[in-house]
Amino acid sequence: MVHEPGLFEGGVVNGVPAWSGPRTAIVTGGGRGIGLAVSRRLCLEGASVAIFERDGDLAAAAAEEIAGEGGRVVAYEVDVADRQAVDEAVAATRQELGPATILVNNAGISPFKKFREITREELEQVFAVNVYGTIDCCQAVLGDMVTAGWGRIVNIASSSAQTGSVLQTHYSASKGAVIAFTRSLARELGSKGITVNAVPPSFIDTPSLQQAEESGFLGSGVEVLLQSMPIRRVGQPDDIAAAVAYLCRDDAGFVTGQVLGVNGGRVIG
């Protein structure tokens, strides 16, 4: 079901349209946390949004919430590690909302485990979602972007890829691969009017962060870790959504292959 626009009659940023025409966006992992904030923000700026989420009930609830605020949104149950499911959802998005020319690869898993105890199966699961899922989603939408001569791809990485993270060698390695993939794809697609950028968050107030702290995976806790950061607060999903929205606009057309850290200064440079 497509929820038609209401309150979200947006698309204007500082008096300037965010895009030169209607845009359709896909946000993977769009049912909660950062993904939900990105989905809402892109709707606010005038895009139609397809939420891809492994948990179908979560996807439907997120779409209903955004639709209640006036956004034009659809929801699909999609495991990005399943290429067939990705292709089918992209085709359904094209049918209901139009070709997707904005893709935000946010879906990911971030397990904690000692390096020596990580099994090959666990390693492959992390890479299947975080790396192969990102690559597959890009391939699935690329044809529509090339046809349009315009596209925006934003890959959500992690500051753990830049600093390393205890008990997360597999996760950090996967997000490092996302950053390298982003830079390489940007070089390949720039001449086609498609930009590709990455946003690596640090400590963002999401269910995943809360669960990690409750499980004791963050040492003395987030508040202690924040003391080493210039901006001593936990980030909010809206902080990431704002950066993603900028990278998706027309006026970010000269920005590609960049890693825009939204991390409170945890990583500088």
Which residue ranges form the domains of the chain, and what is each CATH number? 21-204+236-252 (3.40.50.720)
Q: With the C-alpha atoms ordered 261, 265, 267, 269, is the resulting torsion angle positive or negative? A: positive
- If you ran DSSP here, which 8-state letter would residue 201 be given? B
Determine contact, residues 163/267, Cβ cutoff 8 Å.
Answer: yes
Give the Cα separation of 220 and 250 in Å (integer). 43
- Predicted confidence pLDDT, tens digits, the chain (269 residues): 454 444 455 677 777 788 888 999 999 999 999 999 999 999 999 999 999 999 999 999 999 999 999 999 999 999 999 999 999 999 999 999 999 999 999 999 999 999 999 999 999 999 999 999 999 999 999 999 999 999 999 999 998 888 888 899 999 999 999 999 999 999 999 999 999 999 999 877 766 655 665 566 555 556 656 667 766 677 889 999 999 999 999 999 999 999 999 877 777 77
Is 132 annotated in the active site? no
Give the Cα separation of 265 and 269 in Å (integer). 9
Q: What is the pTM of this model?
A: 0.90
Query: What is the enclosing helix (H) or strand (E) of 16?
Result: strand 16-17
**Encoding tokens for residue 107?**
């879906």
- Helices H, strands E: what count in the chain? 10, 8
CB burial class (10 A; 0-12, 13-18, 19+) of residue 213?
middle
